[in-house]
Structure 1
Amino acid sequence: MLTAEEKQLIPQVWDTVCNKHDGLGAEALERMFFVYPPTKTYFPHFDLHQGSDQVHGHGKKVMAALSNAVKNLDNLSQALSELSNLHAYNLRVDPVNFKLLSQCIQVVLAVNMGKDYTPEVHAAFDKFLSAMSAVLAEKYR
């Protein structure tokens, strides 16, 4: 459960980071595909090479979903319901992949934020991304 301070910190950081870096989603996906190669199985029709237009486009979708979640911190289940349904019933993505992508997003944030990626920011985003992963996986039960 996010604290009041974390609920203020996450949108502030998100606005700062997302407005500066258009390619964060693609960078996180590229990292996930490289570090966790089995995740590529869900994208057989994609060109998964670094800098691919398809990865960049999907990265934008990932960031849009994250932005939506950031705007709806108090109601993640409702905000992500459609996305959860899509992944559970249509795409049948193994829910462990949400955690893997969350880890990659954390690394990308740390790399891009540098010294501004404080322990407080890390903890807040860890809790947020864990909550988001849990919501995306809840339809699997």
Structure 2
Amino acid sequence: MVEWTDFERATIQDIFSKIDYKSVGHQALSRCLVVYPWTQRYFASFGNLYNAAAIVGNPKVAAHGLTVMQGLEKAAKNLDNIKATYAELSVLHSEHLHVDPDNFKLLADCITIVVASVLGASFTAEVQAVLQNLWTDFERATIQDIFSKIDYKSVGHQALSRCLVVYPWTQRYFASFGNLYNAAAIVGNPKVAAHGLTVMQGLEKAAKNLDNIKATYAELSVLHSEHLHVDPDNFKLLADCITIVVASVLGASFTAEVQAVLQKFLAVVVSALGKQYY
């Protein structure tokens, strides 16, 4: 069961109290059908979906968008039992409608974008993290599977080395590491290898505490923001390098679905590390 912090519970309730379900649902579903036109296949009975104007003006799209948001409201009111709340809908969409589960992620992204446009400046990084920090069984299993298949020392070394070579300005935070003059020096530097392992061990802690990543990274966030003064954009650069290295290690098994899960996980970690910056 997901364990929600008081901040997360309050934030979710606050979001739903500030949005108009009909408007957000309509905009989000319309956006999904326009941006990802292949999702229209599940709405053949809706009639005219020929272009953006037709989709936005279609009353069935508006009605179903409201239904989606009302379903999310039920989840928001049952945070400790979301699986049971969605049990019947899960059966309906999988066994009867045969909906590709990737489409749920696409619609979720569209809802996030619309909510961001509605809330404006109040839609901070922390609020976004709460809205998006929902882990499915597939995501949880995939994260554990990834970490079971990689060698932390090797991946960490390769990823940090790659980051320091491709983005040389990140070297400013590693002045004590000595020789970082070129790619060969960086790859051969034992301090780079050691710190790369430390990074991966930190990610392992997050992988084992998916429902409480912010608290897991609280001290590290303070360290990097208040003491080391690391530009938080660098976390994203390193996360991208980790993704690339993991892809090279896993090969063909690093499918688009697996990539999506890893990048979501790393995005949550990056957000947690940047918590003290906001």
**TM-score bin (small chain):** over 0.9
Alpha-carbon distance in 1 for matches of 2:188, 2:204 = 22
Deviation per CA, 1:86-126, whole angstroms, max 9, x where unpaired?
11111110000010000000000001111111111100001
Structure 1 segments (4+ residues) deviating >6 Å? none
Q: CA deviation at 1:62?
A: 0.3
- Decide which of 104, 107, 114 is 2:251's aligned counterpart: 114
Alpha-carbon distance in 2 for matches of 1:22, 1:33 = 17
Does residue 51 (structure 1) correspond to residue 184 (structure 2)? The answer is no
TM-score by length of 1: 0.94
In the alignment, which residue of structure 2 is the partner of 1:71? Answer: 208
Question: SS of 1:43's equivalent?
Answer: helix
In the alignment, which residue of structure 1 is the partner of 2:90? Answer: none
Deviation per CA, 1:16-37, whole angstroms, max 9, x where unpaired?
213xx53111100010011111
Deviation per CA, 1:13-63, whole angstroms, max 9, x where unpaired?
111213xx5311110001001111110000011133212110011011101
Q: Which one scores higher on RCO, CA 8 angstroms, separation ≥ 6?
A: 1
**Gap runs ≥5 in structure 1:** none
Q: CA deviation at 1:3?
A: 2.2
User: How many residues are treated as equivalent by the alignment?
Assistant: 139
Does residue 123 (structure 1) correspond to residue 254 (structure 2)? The answer is no
Alpha-carbon distance in 2 for matches of 1:51, 1:75 = 35
Alpha-carbon distance in 2 for matches of 1:93, 1:76 = 20
Alpha-carbon distance in 2 for matches of 1:51, 1:111 = 20
Does residue 31 (structure 1) correspond to residue 168 (structure 2)? The answer is no
Q: CA deviation at 1:9?
A: 1.1
CA contact (8 A) 2:153 2:196 kept: no
- Decide which of 167, 172, 175 is 1:41's aligned counterpart: 172
Question: SS of 2:153's equivalent?
Answer: coil
In the alignment, which residue of structure 2 is the partner of 1:62? Answer: 199
1:121 partner amino acid: V
Question: Could you tell which deviates more after superposition, 97-106 or 21-30?
Answer: 21-30
Alpha-carbon distance in 1 for matches of 2:248, 2:207 = 20
In the alignment, which residue of structure 2 is the partner of 1:103? Answer: 240
2:211 partner amino acid: D
In the alignment, which residue of structure 2 is the partner of 1:12? Answer: 145
Alpha-carbon distance in 1 for matches of 2:266, 2:259 = 10
2:145 partner amino acid: Q
User: Percent identity, aligned pairs only?
Assistant: 40
